[in-house]
Structure formats: structure tokens, C-alpha cells
Structure 1
Amino acid sequence: MNRLSTITSSKIDCSALLRPGLTTPGGTAVSLAASGSPIVSGSLRELQLQPDLSLYASDVRDELDMEVTGMLQPGLLIVLPLAGEADVSYGGQRFLLGAGGAERSGLVVALTRRECFTRRLRRGARRRVVSLAFGTRWLAEHEDVLSAHQGLDSLLDTHLAVQKWRLSARVQALAGSVFELCASSTPLMSLCLESRCLDIAAETLAALTDVHRDPMCVLRPRERRRLAEFRAFLDSGEGDGWSMQALAERIGMSPSTLQRYFRLYTGSTVFAYQRCRLLDHARYALERDGISVSDAAHLAGYTNAANFATAFRRQFGKAPGSLRLRH
């Protein structure tokens, strides 16, 4: 008999997602919202492959709007978004993984201490993500190998240091095969998964070495501070409607440099970030204030309601009018 766990808050701990009766190791409990709806549907696995190496593989559809929170242990986190978009924060840094086009970028996050993370679920959204977490003991045991990779030492020594790189076809194929192995349930599954994860780590380290050969791909502390201030400026709404040239002059960079650095910092282009933020505001106004769809389109910066509806449906998986009907 399945056990039922009812969730009444809009913010939950990540452990609740590991009890939805999907393809989890336990697989005996179901996490439901107060409405009786499941939180996500699809395939979700979290496995401890070594004492200090864990794998998280998620191929799901969000069934509710929620924030999932949790804690990350010190070490190195590799995040590979294979399909869809993932809206996540590590500490105070927010990333829209998979946004802004077909090109897929991976994310490496260094953690020198425990840190919180937040994953935002959007009803109707789909995503396919593989994450690997290497703890400090694993990193120490492989110090000789890791030290051979240029720039990795400085990355590991800085809490919440982040590096992005374009996912190669090989890495995407390796990460995609993780789901096939998880579904096989053979006696050698854990050993095969461990081997696959080490292959992914090797490819990632090689890619990071290539990135660090290009000084333009590395964000120094001063640049991170400037970008944090610039993102706060965007979030305030003061820059809405500004041209790229005006925004670049505001931060004191050329438009091309701003785009490159902002993508490294957030995982998104400036305008893709603005579009997602404004659509979030429009959705909030539709749900909470009951404004009309045309007013929501104007709030999101769209002069054409049809274009707004298309963008809204792409981001949230539903038509803006479906929210308006609640009022």
C-alpha cells in the first residue's frame, strides 16, 4: 500500500520529491499537494554511487507551481541540462539553465561549505537534467589528477564560484544514457552508472581546461560584483525598455562583452532574462490581481497579445487566459 504525504505549502524540501512513487529507490510513497495533485510526474532518481559521489537524474513534468529547497554539501557540483529549462538558485545566484536557444550549456558550482539551493517548479514545464555531486573526500582522493587541470584550483577554493561551458555531443550522449541505465535495474547498474559519471567528469574537466585558456571566459570577483549590481538593476525594473547599448553603457561594458559575461553569470542572455522576469510579473498579476490578458501583455512589454500568449505558453505551459478565468 502506498503511503500518502500531503503538501500544503508552496515551498517544500527536496526530500518530498523523492517520495512521489516514480522510479525512486524507495518508490513506496506519494507526495501530493492539498488539492490531491502530484508534485511532478515522470522519472526521478537520486543514487549514492560512492561514499562521496552522488547522482541525480530528473526527467519530469512539473504538475504544480512550487519552490523546492534543500542543502548542498561542500564539494563540486556538475549540472547538465539536457532538455527543457531549469530555474535554480545556488546561494544567492540564480540561473535559467537551458534558456535562450538550442545550444546547451553545463554548469559547475564549487562549494567550500554547506549551501542552500532552490529549484522553481512551473506547472506544465518539462525538464531533463543530470547532476553529479563530488564531495570533499572524493576531491581530496583525486587531488593529483585534478591539479593537472588549469584553473581548477582557484575554482575549488572559491565558495559559489561558477563556470559554464557548452555541452559537447559526447557529454550529452553520456548524460542521456544515464536514464537508460537507471531503467535497466540490472545487477551491474550501479557500477555502470559510476563508470558513466566518471566519464562525464573527465569530459567536464577537459572542457573547463579549454575554457580557462580563454581569459575572456573567466569572471573575476570585480566583474561578478558588477554583474550582481547590474542584475539587481534589471530586477528593479528601471532598465525595462532600454536598448542593449544603453544597458551596456549603464554597466560600463560593450554590448558584446555584457552579453558574454551575463550569460556566464546567469546562464541566460540579458533579454532572455528580462523576458522571463517580465513574464513572471505578468503571471503574478493575472493570478493574484485578476488583470486582463491585454493588460498582462502590456506589463510584460508585448504590444501584440498573440505574441504574449505564445511566449507565456512556452514558458509556463498554459495560456494566460486559463489563469484569468480563476477570477
Structure 2
Amino acid sequence: MAGGISSAQLRAAGTHLGGSHDIESRHGAGAKTPLEGSFQLLTMRPGLMLRRADVRDCGDNVVRSTLTPGLKLIVLEQGDVELEFGHHHLHLKGPAPGEGLQARLLMLTGPASFMRRAARNHRERSITLTVAPQWLQDGGLIPDGSAPSTVDTSAIQAFLQTHLALHAWTLTPRGVTLAQRIARPPAHEDGVDRLMLESRCLALLGEGLRHVALAAAGDAASAPASRIEPRHAKRLLELRARIDAGTLTGPCSLADLAAQTGLGVRALQQGFQALTGSSAVEYLREQRLRAAQRALLGQGVSVAQAAALAGYSSAANFATAFKRLFGVSPRDVRMHG
């Protein structure tokens, strides 16, 4: 798709990914053509699908859908977009000058709700590789019990069997080159070009899975602060699940969270950063702010009540943090939705 991209075209693309799409677009013309630019969905082989986008949002767009199980590799080269996968929230930004390009692996072992939110005139260049569970199993990444494994892939297998498991890393120079070539196709792709495209996608996927294994082993030399000790993984996942579910109560400083998980402060810092791409305290703060946003939108609570829900004793501090995250004040959200 190139030029104006209609809601019908986006819904059709959504069916190829195994889910239905609901598109809400504000600001007039955006309702008919929510996006403009280049948007492609390519099936390279059964179970291996690439979505690449170089688009502008014509309105304040919200896309909601239900995704089927699979592994997703996401690289945002340019843009500032809010995504939700189930209870997992990602605020992705393209790299600032001098920063490395980030990539993320996200595993869905079951269906999951999805939401994308972007503001009018937002520019996005991104790639998303979706890998079906059967493809992973056929490749020996998810064990089926039919043959013993000759390689220690336990960390990768644990990741691929954990719903909403997330791993973020900074792409290597080779990974950056791969991602950029994937995102920028030649004007006319022939069969050889498609073969090269598939090989680059698989190489990028391989880099991500290798980083999962290295981080678990504590050997990720390029990211020494992103190590997960295997014995800590369960506690870190449990903490993230409690934060996502909104059941974490009481004081929530870094020391408090470490005490609740039974981990040391350093182990919690490094492990949670590797698991989610942010610190435990930052992740908790953002999740609580998002819960407050949902309460303002759907439950009609006051700003003071929303502040308390997010753990703020000061409504002014809450409003500052809220506007920093969402770009609007909580009062405006409550009044205008």
C-alpha cells in the first residue's frame, strides 16, 4: 500500500495477522485514510510475516485488535508511538542522535489484545516480524519432545513459553544495517530480493534470540546492565505480573520492591531492565499512570482520585508526571476524553 491508506485496507491487513482491527481516527480526513505513506505486509513463507511501515498518521489514531500467538520482533527506527499488548504497555521512540537503535522481542503464547496510539502528523518508520508458534517448533526453538536438544537453548525456550515475555536490546552495527535494509526495499523487488529479505529477517531474529540467551547467562558484553540470572527470572516475571494486574500495594521504592521479591537491589535493577527495557520503579510508575488514565476516561473519577490511584499524594506532581507521559493534562483527559 502506498499513498493514502484507508481503514478498510488496514482491517484487511489485520486479518492476515490473525486478528480483527478496529480503527478510530480523529481530525476529519483521517477517518477515511488514517495513514499515508508506504505500508506493506509480506508473507515470506508460512508462519513468517513481515510488516514494514513508513507512514504519517493523518489523524489522532487509535488501532485496537486481538493478536494470535506468536513471536514479534519490533524495531522502531523513527517515531513516537504508544503500544499495548495485553496489560503490557510500550512507549517506543526512535533513537535520539548518538543513541543506539533499540529492538524488542515480544512473545505471545496465547491471544492478546493490542492497541496502537499515535498523534496526528506522527511519522513512523518501523518493521515488525511475526513468527508463528509452528514455525518456531519446526525450527527446534520450542521443544516438541520428539528429539533431544544438542544445544543449550533453555533460556530461549523459557522465553518462548512465557506469555508477554519481553526482551529489549541495542542492535549491533550489523543488526542496524539489517534493520535498515529490511525497512527500505528496492523500488522493484524480484525473487532474489525476497530471498535476501528473508535471510536478513532471520539474521535479525537470530541476533535477538542469541541476546536472550546471552543475557540469561550473564554474558551480554554489549549490555552488562541487562543480565537475567536464570534463578531470578521467575521472581522478576511474578513482579511484572503483579504490577500489570495492579495488585502491588504499599511502599514501592526500589528497596521496597527488592524486599518484596526477595532479590537484591542490583539483581532487581539489572534483571527488570533486561526483562522490560525499563527500571522496576519507572515501569511501576508508568503502569499506575496508565491505570489512572483509564480511570479518568472510563470511570469518571476526579483528578484527585486518579492521583491517589497512581500513588501520588500531590495532585500537582501527578499532573506533571501525567502530562510528561501522555502530552495532555489529566484535567483535559477527564473533560474531553
Same fold (TM over 0.5): yes
Contact 1:155 1:161 in 2 (8 A): no
Any idea what the Cα deviations from partners look like across 1:241-294, whole Å, max 9, x if unmatched?
Answer: 5322122212222222222333344443222222222322332344342635x7
CA-based RMSD: 4.5
Q: Does 1:322 align with 2:332?
A: yes
Any idea what the Cα deviations from partners look like across 1:8-49, whole Å, max 9, x if unmatched?
Answer: xxxxxx972737xxxx9xxxxx97549775495355332101
Q: Does 1:94 align with 2:97?
A: no
Name 1:11's counterpart in structure 2. none
Name 1:258's counterpart in structure 2. 268
Name 1:227's counterpart in structure 2. 239
In structure 2, do the counterparts of structure 1 residues 103 and 319 end up closer, same or farther at CA, with 3 Å as the change threshold? Answer: farther
Contact 1:124 1:317 in 2 (8 A): no
In structure 2, do the counterparts of structure 1 residues 209 and 297 end up closer, same or farther at CA, with 3 Å as the change threshold? Answer: closer
**Structure 1 residue 159: Cα displacement:** 5.1
In structure 2, do the counterparts of structure 1 residues 17 and 246 end up closer, same or farther at CA, with 3 Å as the change threshold? Answer: farther
Any idea what the Cα deviations from partners look like across 1:154-202, whole Å, max 9, x if unmatched?
Answer: 4477354846242224323422332221x73443553342232123133
Any idea what the Cα deviations from partners look like across 1:86-112, whole Å, max 9, x if unmatched?
Answer: 53336xx7253648x96765443556x
Distance in 2 (alpha carbons) for counterparts of 1:224 and 1:172: 29
Name 1:131's counterpart in structure 2. 128
Which residues in structure 2 correspond to 1:1-327 (within 5 Å)? 16=11, 18=13, 33=24, 37-38=30-31, 40-42=34-36, 43-58=38-53, 61=57, 63-65=60-62, 67-73=64-70, 76-82=71-77, 84-89=80-85, 94=88, 96=90, 98=92, 106-109=103-106, 115-124=110-119, 129-135=126-132, 138-139=135-136, 142-143=139-140, 148=151, 150-151=153-154, 154-155=157-158, 158=161, 160=163, 162=165, 164-170=167-173, 171-181=175-185, 184-187=187-190, 189-214=193-218, 217-220=228-231, 222-223=234-235, 226-227=238-239, 230-231=242-243, 235-236=246-247, 238-239=249-250, 242-288=252-298, 289=300, 291-292=302-303, 300=310, 301=312, 303=314, 305=316, 308-309=318-319, 311-326=321-336
In structure 2, do the counterparts of structure 1 residues 203 and 261 end up closer, same or farther at CA, with 3 Å as the change threshold? Answer: closer
Distance in 2 (alpha carbons) for counterparts of 1:229 and 1:194: 34
Where structure 1 has 5 or more consecutive residues not aligned to the other structure, the ranges are 7-13, 25-29
Q: Helix, strand or coil for the counterpart of 2:190? A: coil
TM-score, normalised to structure 2, is 0.66
Any idea what the Cα deviations from partners look like across 1:120-139, whole Å, max 9, x if unmatched?
Answer: 23352966542223345644
In structure 2, do the counterparts of structure 1 residues 104 and 242 end up closer, same or farther at CA, with 3 Å as the change threshold? Answer: farther
In structure 2, do the counterparts of structure 1 residues 185 and 88 end up closer, same or farther at CA, with 3 Å as the change threshold? Answer: farther
In structure 2, do the counterparts of structure 1 residues 138 and 308 end up closer, same or farther at CA, with 3 Å as the change threshold? Answer: same
Aligned residues: 297
TM-score, normalised to structure 1, is 0.67
In structure 2, do the counterparts of structure 1 residues 68 and 219 end up closer, same or farther at CA, with 3 Å as the change threshold? Answer: farther
In structure 2, do the counterparts of structure 1 residues 88 and 81 end up closer, same or farther at CA, with 3 Å as the change threshold? Answer: farther
Distance in 2 (alpha carbons) for counterparts of 1:97 and 1:311: 15
Distance in 2 (alpha carbons) for counterparts of 1:248 and 1:69: 34
Distance in 2 (alpha carbons) for counterparts of 1:147 and 1:110: 23
Where structure 2 has 5 or more consecutive residues not aligned to the other structure, the ranges are 142-148, 220-226
**Structure 1 residue 210: Cα displacement:** 2.7
Contact 2:22 2:65 in 1 (8 A): no
In structure 2, do the counterparts of structure 1 residues 296 and 41 end up closer, same or farther at CA, with 3 Å as the change threshold? Answer: farther
